[in-house]
């Protein structure tokens, strides 16, 4: 039997091949953020303060879409199709399989963030990230929190047919209220409080510190990091208590 590290590497490579075979997934993961950047960049062209908000916002949305949304969809589909149950019955360790899924999501996130950084440098006059450590820490924290929340949400989805409605009922309101396309300082106070309590706005806050000059190093964003860490803990508890390898229906 191969070591767990070798098995994890093979599973990761397998997940990458599966991902690239799904052209629609590749489109929504890599081209959609560029479309949003181009669209909103054209709308606020010439207003650098607005561009400084849009680029980190799109980066935060990218982290959420490649982890929370992707895992909620994929785990629900594989559970309801019996794939997870069959994998559970193989010699492949459960941790290796789930680790391959997680590493695949991390890779997609890293590629998306790289695309956003390069686009911000070339088209939006942002320059290279002034605080790369802050950027890396918040990307990793965001990936962990949203991946765990996506895995836990999959258990609440009764069937794959219901997955789009359930996932989008969470994803769309969160990105709208969390300042992906605007500065949350300009919204009513109660909406701003909601946004700051959710994980996406603190993630965008930290990414702004990493991507935009003049927003401080990681020490200026410890509260945001703590909020993301809290949601990661919530995701751990819910995922451990609710994750299922078997279909919810016969």
> Mapped to the 3 state alphabet, what secondary structure does 59-105 carry?
HHHHHHHHHHHHHHHHHHHHHHCCHHHHHHCCCCCHHHHHHHHHHHH
> Is 243:85 a contact under the CB 8 Å cutoff?
no
pLDDT band (50, 70, 90) for residue 81: confident
pLDDT at 91: 84
Structure tokens, 63: 């982290």
pLDDT (average), residues 199-220: 89
pLDDT(227) > 80:
yes
pLDDT (average), residues 96-103: 88
**Angle (CA) 233 197 53, round 5°:** 115
Least confident among 45-59, 72-86, 105-119: 45-59
The CB-side HSE value for 129 (13 A sphere, CA atoms) comes to 26
Least confident among 15-29, 51-65, 143-157, 161-175: 15-29
Asked whether the CA dihedral 3, 8, 14, 16 is positive or negative, the reply is negative
Structure tokens, 72: 């909620």
pLDDT at 250: 45
* Predicted structure pTM score: 0.88
pLDDT band (50, 70, 90) for residue 89: confident
Domain map (residue ranges) of the chain: 4-242
pLDDT at 248: 65
pLDDT (average), residues 218-235: 94
Structure tokens, 225: 């990091």
Contacts 24+ apart (CB under 8 A), 195-200: 196/227, 197/227, 198/174, 198/231, 199/142, 199/145, 199/146, 199/149, 199/227, 199/228, 199/231, 200/60, 200/61, 200/64, 200/174, 200/175
- For 82-111, letters b (16+ CB in 10 Å) and e give eebeebeeeebeeebbbbbbbbbbbebbee
Structure tokens, 62: 């990218």
Distance between CA atoms of 12 and 46, rounded to whole angstroms? 42
pLDDT(32) > 60:
yes
């Amino acid at each position: 039997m191969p070591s767990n590290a070798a098995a994890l590497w093979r599973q990761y490579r397998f997940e990458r091949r599966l991902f690239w075979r799904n052209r629609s997934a590749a489109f929504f993961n890599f081209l959609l953020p560029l479309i949003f950047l181009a669209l909103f960049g054209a709308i606020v062209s010439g207003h650098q303060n607005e561009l400084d908000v849009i680029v980190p916002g799109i980066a935060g949305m990218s982290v959420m879409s490649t982890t929370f949304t992707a895992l909620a969809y994929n785990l629900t589909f594989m559970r309801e199709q019996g794939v997870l149950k069959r994998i559970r019955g193989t010699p492949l360790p459960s941790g290796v399989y789930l680790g391959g899924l997680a590493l695949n999501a991390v890779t997609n996130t890293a590629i998306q963030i790289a695309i956003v950084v390069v686009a911000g440098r070339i088209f939006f006059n942002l320059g290279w990230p002034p605080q790369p450590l802050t950027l890396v820490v918040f990307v990793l924290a965001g990936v962990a929190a949203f991946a765990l929340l996506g895995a836990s949400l999959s258990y609440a989805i009764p069937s794959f047919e219901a997955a789009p409605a359930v996932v989008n009922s969470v994803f769309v309101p969160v990105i709208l209220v969390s300042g992906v396309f605007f500065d949350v300082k300009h919204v009513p106070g109660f909406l701003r409080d909601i946004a700051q309590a959710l994980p996406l706005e603190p993630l965008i806050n930290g990414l702004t510190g990493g991507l935009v000059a003049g927003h401080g190093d990681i020490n200026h964003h410890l509260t945001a990091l703590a909020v993301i860490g809290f949601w990661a803990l919530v995701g751990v508890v819910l995922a451990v208590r609710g994750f299922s390898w078997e279909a919810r229906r016969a």
